[in-house]
Amino acid sequence: MKNVLINKIVEIVVTENQLRSFWKKHGEDLEFETLSNEQLMKLAMREIQEASLTELDSHLIDRGWRTRDEIEGKMIAEDNSNPRYHVELIDTDQKGNPSKILIDRMLELHCEDCGFELYIQDSDIDPSSLKCPKDGGKLTITGTNAKKINKN
Ligand SMILES: [Zn+2]
């Protein structure tokens, strides 16, 4: 089987208005205004996780609903805790540049002697030409083509 995996960076936006109505729908007692930056990002993640496919469409850039100017502004908080997501809180009333996200392809190596793990960006390199930076031990490949989402 030749299954094709496409790693695409999808930009999902949850606008403040969408957050407000999601918050209201869940009938929380707290005022929306009292939510911290971290709580806003968690709320957005929850909204996306609970969204149906059609609801998700209203969050995707380049699908007719959300426009690029809704993510232009100053990033005032971010959450990197999940390696598969990069979450940013953007204040569109402040000036700033939209962030660029890239996918890096990397090779994961580990030292047979001390277990030290490292990543290198040249995924074509022969690991026997390298030594463990810690103790000079022999390196072997553990994961091929580890991908890392990188923010510029
Ligand atoms: Zn080592």
The label of the residue with tokens 């993510």 reads 71
Comparison of pLDDT for 11 and 145, the residue scoring more: 11
Which residue among 73, 91, 109 closes a domain? 91
CA–centroid distance, residue 128 to ligand 1 (Å): 13
In Å, how far from its chain's centre is CA 25?
27
CA–centroid distance, residue 80 to ligand 1 (Å): 28
Digit-coded pLDDT (tens) for 113-129: 999 998 888 777 888 88
Q: Is residue 3 part of a domain?
A: no
> Looking at the structure, do residues 24 and 75 belong to the same domain, yes or no?
yes
CB-count burial class (<10 Å; 0-12, 13-18, 19+) for 70:
middle
Which range has the worst mean pLDDT, 57-66, 103-112, 143-152? 143-152
CA–centroid distance, residue 140 to ligand 1 (Å): 11
CA–centroid distance, residue 121 to ligand 1 (Å): 19
Tokens, residue 47: 């909204």
Q: Is residue 30 part of a domain?
A: yes
Digit-coded pLDDT (tens) for 90-111: 999 999 876 677 777 778 899 9
- Rounded to a whole number, what is the largest CA-CA distance in the chain? 61
CA–centroid distance, residue 138 to ligand 1 (Å): 7
Give the residue from 73, 54, 47, 56 showing the smallest Cα distance to 11. 56
| Structural domain span for residue 114 | 101-151
Digit-coded pLDDT (tens) for 14-53: 999 999 999 998 877 789 999 999 999 999 999 999 999 9
* Buried b or exposed e, range 85-119, using 16+ CB within 10 angstroms: eebbbbeeeeeeeeeeeeeeebbbbbbeeeeeebe
